[in-house]
Structure 1
Amino acid sequence: MTASRTRGPYVKGVERREQILRTALEVFSEGGYHRSSLKEIARRVGVTEPTLFHYFGSKEALLAAVLAARDERTGEVVDAGDVLDGLLAATRRNVGTPDLVRLYATTSAEATEPGHAAHDWFRDRYASVRQEIAERLADRVPADADPEWVARILIAVMDGLQIQWLLDRDVDMVGDMERLAAALLPDA
C-alpha cells in the first residue's frame, strides 16, 4: 500500500470531523444546546446521525468537542506572558468570532442547570481559568486586594461585556476591558 492510500482515509476522517465540528458550532450557536438537534447537524453536513455517533458517540460528546475546539481556536486567556495582555488579546479575538462568543454565552447560561451536558465542563473551566489568573496576578494587585476576587471580577466583566456586545455591536469590549484593567491594577 502506498503512503497516499494509507493516509487517504485518515485525512478524510479528520476533514469530516472538522466539518462536523464547524457545523455543530453553527447549530449550537443558533439554538443553544437543548434546542439544537443532531438531525439538523447531520442534515447540514450531509451525513446520517449514525455517522455523527461514529465520530463523537453522543450529543454531549459533540458539545464537549465543540467547546474544546472553541478554546483551541480562541486560545486560553492566560496563554500570553502577561495575563492582562492575554485577556485583552482574547477580547480582541472575540470581536472577530461572534459565533464562538454566542455559543459560549448561550451554552454557559444553559449549563447552569446541574444536569446539563456542559455543566461540569464550564464549572471546571471557570475554576481553572480563575485560579490561573489569580496566581498570575498575585504579586500585581494592590496589597488590600484579593487576587481571586480580581480574577473573578475580570472574568465576570468579560463575560458580561460579551453578552452586551452580542446584543449591540457598538459596545466596545476591548476599550471597556482596558479601562477596567487600568482601574483594578493601576500600576500594571
Structure 2
Amino acid sequence: MQPKVRSDDLTFTEAARRKQIVAAAIDTIAEVGYTKASFAKIAQRAGLSSPSLISYHFADKDELIGQVVAEVCAAGGEVVRPHADPAASSSDTLRAYVEGSIAFYDTHRRHLRALMQILNGHPHARERWVNAANSAELDSIEQLLARGQRDGEFRSGFAPHAVAMILRDLLAGALLRLLGTPDLDVSAYTRELVALCLHSVEPVS
C-alpha cells in the first residue's frame, strides 16, 4: 500500500483517520516517551486493527512525528491567537502573549509532554521541526519590544533581542513548572508572571 502524503489529495475519511492517528501518537508519546512509542502502541491507542494502517497514512515514523509537532504548534496558535489584538498597545500585546502562552501550557499539557519527549528523544527534531518556528516567535517578540520602545511605552536602553530571549526563557520555565506541578494555582502564577514581565520593560519613573 502506498502512503497518502499530500493533504490536499486526502478524502474526508483519510483526513479524519490521519487526525485520529496523530492524536493517538500524542497521547502515546506523552505517556511512554518517544523511543517506546511504537506503531503497535499507537495503533492500539487509536483503536486500529493493525499497525500497518498507520503505514498506509504515513510513510514512516518521521512523517508521523512531523505531523505531531505541527499539531502541537497549531494548537498553540489556536489558543494564543485569540488573546492578541493587532490594534492593542505594546503593553497589552505583551500581556496577551504571556497570558495566552500560559493558557496553552495549562490546557494542552499532554501535547507539550509529547513535544518535550520528541525533543529529548529524536536527534534531529529541533532542526527539522522546531527551530524555525522558535526563531520566528523570538523575532516577533523582539519586534514587539522594539515597537514599545519607539512608542515610548517601554523604557529605552535595553536590548530587545536579549530581553526577548529572557522572556522566552521565563516561559520555558513556566512550562516546566506547570508540567511538574499538577495543583499549581495557574491564575496566580499567570498574574504574577505578567506583572514581572511588564515591570521589566516599563519606563523608569
2:12 is aligned to 11
Structure 2 unaligned spans of 5+: 1-9, 86-92, 149-153
Q: Evaluate the alpha carbon distance shift between residue 39 and residue 117 of structure 1 in structure 2; reply closer, same or farther with a 3 A threshold.
A: farther
1:36/1:158 Cα in 2 relative to 1: closer, same or farther (>3 Å)? same
Bigger relative contact order, structure 1 or 2, given CA contacts below 8 A and separation 6+?
A: 2
Alpha-carbon separation, structure 2, partners of 1:133 and 1:120: 22
- Give the distance between the partners of 1:39 and 1:100, measured in 2 at CA: 20
Residue 161 in structure 1 maps to residue 163 in structure 2: no
Partner residue, 1:130: 138
The Cα shift of 1:134 comes to 0.8
- After TM superposition, the structure 1 = structure 2 runs for residues 1-188 of structure 1, keeping only pairs within 5 Å, are 10-45=11-46, 46-75=48-77, 79=81, 80-81=84-85, 82-110=93-121, 115-140=123-148, 141-169=154-182, 170=184, 172=186, 173-186=189-202
Q: TM-score, normalised by structure 2?
A: 0.75
Change (3 A) 1:107 1:176: farther
Q: Residue 35 of structure 1 aligns to a residue in which SS?
A: coil
Farther-moved stretch of structure 1 (9-18 vs 124-133): 9-18
The residue type paired with residue 74 of structure 1 is: G
Cα gap change, 1:77 to 1:22, in 2 (>3 Å): closer
- Between the aligned residues of both structures, percent identity stands at 21
Quote the Cα distance in structure 2 between the aligned partners of 1:41 and 1:92.
27
Runs of 4+ in 1 over 6 A off after TM superposition: none
SS of 2:32's equivalent?
Answer: helix
**Aligned residues, how many?**
176
Alignment root-mean-square deviation, CA:
2.4
Q: Give the AA of the match of 2:58.
A: F
